[in-house]
Amino acid sequence: MLALLVALVAGIWLGGHPGWIPSSIRGAFVSEGNTRLVGQVLDLISRDYYRRVDRRQLVNDGLGAMVASLHDPYSHYFSPSDYRSFMSQSNPHLSGVGIDVDLDPRGLRVVDVFPGSPAARAGIQPGDVIVAVGSTPLASRSRGFGSSLIKGPAGTRVTLAVLRAGRRLVVPITRANIVVPVATGKIVVFHHLKIGYLTFTSFTDGSGDELRQRVRQVLNGGAQALVLDLRENGGGLLTEAVNVASIFLPDGTIVSTDGRNQPRQVYMAKGDAIAPRIPMVVLVDRGTASAAEIVTGALQDRGRAKVVGTRTYGKGVFQEIEALPNGGALDITVGEYFTPNGTNLGGGGVREGAGIRPNVYAVGNPASAHDAAPAIAERIVAAEVR
């Protein structure tokens, strides 16, 4: 009943303040006729409800419930504080607490803790499940949503609710500056052949330029072929997907987008690509999603690279963020994207789809010391060298 009341109040309040709602969805929730009624009811609740209520909190909770009613795992309402935390994720130097996480039905499962990081000092362990950040539960939320709440500027505090061996622990952590490169590169040798092995973890602002530098380093080091490891890469910015694909594709279509309230747009390669004669393999898994699928799909469709691994996540929609006057923001699904061959990787709307099927099936675990998939990728790409 309380949840319904919150949703009702928020809807009523928004009806009286339609300017707070982006024009793309305003018509679905408000009309001219109920503006006065909305403000009156919110005033009555604020004045006469049996206990004091925080109007701002009512609005925040109601907006969250409104977006949740869309049953879209990719759409979220960010309160002002959550939005400030979310914005920090585009800066790799504001990584927060020093953990690597994977999605869990209960929230986020910790798969790695960086030595000497704030999380390590606070006692966070691999296998812990983060079920809430502050007062925000993470169950059924996306990995990006939870991660965005954990990250933040150095010196600020974040409180994690953690499940460990059936116990719920509350762990306060002070964030710190942790430089976590999103792109790394090294030379591996396969039967006397030098291969550039590139690991790319996130499509954040400027990450394409960082990957381009790593590609140049391994090529200058004598690499005759490339493996691009996009496993567990949950995606990020569409613009960075175009930048990354442009490292390897000299021209042509990378991705196209289409939305109900957005014209169809085709994104083309930007030029200055490496030589197309350099063989390439993209390594993927179930955690390869969103922008990482866009890059993989473009390279596969255009015949630039073979794909090795397991099928990818299968996300076929993209989101846009619109800031609100209260300092919060709406991050909502606004359209679908299509690979150069016109394929949408989702299952229709926001449903999970078939994703990208690899050319060569290979199971591995990037967190394991016995990860078998890279050796298969190296063998496949080495066979392409002429």
Report, as residue numbers or ranges, the catalytic residues.
290, 315
Mapping DSSP onto H, E and C, the string for the chain reads CHHHHHHHHHHHHHHHCHHHCCHHHHHHHCCHHHHHHHHHHHHHHHHHCCCCCCHHHHHHHHHHHHHHCCCCCCCEEECHHHHHHHHHHHCCCECECCEEEEEECCEEEEEEECCCCHHHHHCCCCCCEEEEECCEECCCCCHHHHHHHHCCCCCCEEEEEEEECCEEEEEEEECECECCCCEEEEEEEECCEEEEEEEECCECCCHHHHHHHHHHHHHHCCCCEEEEECCCCCCECHHHHHHHHHHHCCCCEEEEEEECCEEEEEEECCCCCCCCCCCEEEEECCCCCCHHHHHHHHHHHCCCCEEEECCCCCCCEEEEEEECCCCCEEEEEEEEEECCCCCCCCCCCCCCCCCCCCCEECCCCCCCCCCCHHHHHHHHHHCCCC
Tokens read off for 356: 């990208």
Single out the residue of 333, 198, 172 nearest to residue 274, CA to CA. 198
Number of Cβ within 10 Å of residue 64's Cβ equals 20
Rounded Cα distance between 386 and 344, Å, is: 34
Rounded Cα distance between 300 and 305, Å, is: 6
